[in-house]
Structure 1
């Protein structure tokens, strides 16, 4: 396997078969793992074809295996980056880590793709109601 990233938060390797192996670690590793799996499965259900597909997800080891979305992009205008990340919102997802490091180029598809969804937000999820936490009025 080729090591692509080894940080406090994750180790990412690409297997000889091209699959991406990401192991979560560090602060809130379990929560970040669960969020990335949830968001990627949601995007797959919505038919989004410019993000990785989940192939395996092991909650015991916090290891995620996905399809490969191409090579990292080294240069891109701010306008183009906003466009790429903006397309996700059409599928109901805000990336929340919208930086160049999370954009790849898939030569087979001839398009830019987005990776790393551990901090992403599903836009149709409503935050808990404030009313539920307020005390009942005194009689």
Structure 2
């Protein structure tokens, strides 16, 4: 396996079989783990094909294993990014961390995909709560324009 991301919040590795292994750590690790599992299950049930599929999850070690959605992209227009996150919203999910760093390119079919759902909100959830009130509350990424989406 090789590390893709190693931060205070998560360790992300890609296995030799191409599967993505994400271990949650740090602040609210359990809640972020549970939220990502819930959102990925929701998206799979709705037939969303441009997000990772949840293959395994282990609440004891706060780890998920998903399919690989390709590589992180270098550049994307604000308009295209807004389209992708709006398409995600049509599946009942607001991402809450809607930046280019969470969009990948899947070479096998040329599809732009969305990853990293630990802060996402299910729009039809009666509890109504993701882990972030809105994308506006996230720190700005000065290298990327912030999209407007529903």
The two structures have a TM-score, normalised by structure 1, of 0.90
Say if 2:59 is the partner of 1:54: no
Aligned runs of 1:6-45 on 2, under 5 Å? 6-45=6-45
- RMSD across aligned C-alpha pairs, in angstroms? 0.9
Aligned runs of 1:55-134 on 2, under 5 Å? 55-127=55-127
Q: Render the CA deviation track for 1:19-65: whole Å, top value 9, x for unaligned.
A: 00000000000000000000000000000000000011000000100
Q: For the residues of structure 2 that align with 1:24 and 1:85, how far apart are their CA atoms?
A: 24
Q: Render the CA deviation track for 1:48-102: whole Å, top value 9, x for unaligned.
A: 0000000110000001000000010110011111111110111000000001110
Q: For the residues of structure 2 that align with 1:53 and 1:19, how far apart are their CA atoms?
A: 10
The two structures have a TM-score, normalised by structure 2, of 0.84
Q: What secondary structure, in the 3-state scheme, does the structure 1 residue paired with 2:3 have?
A: strand
Q: For the residues of structure 1 that align with 2:56 and 2:92, how far apart are their CA atoms?
A: 23
Aligned residues: 128
Q: How far did 1:126 drift?
A: 2.7
Q: How far did 1:122 drift?
A: 0.3
Listed as ranges, the gaps of 5+ residues in structure 2 are: 129-150
- Which 4+ residue blocks in structure 1 deviate beyond 6 angstroms? none
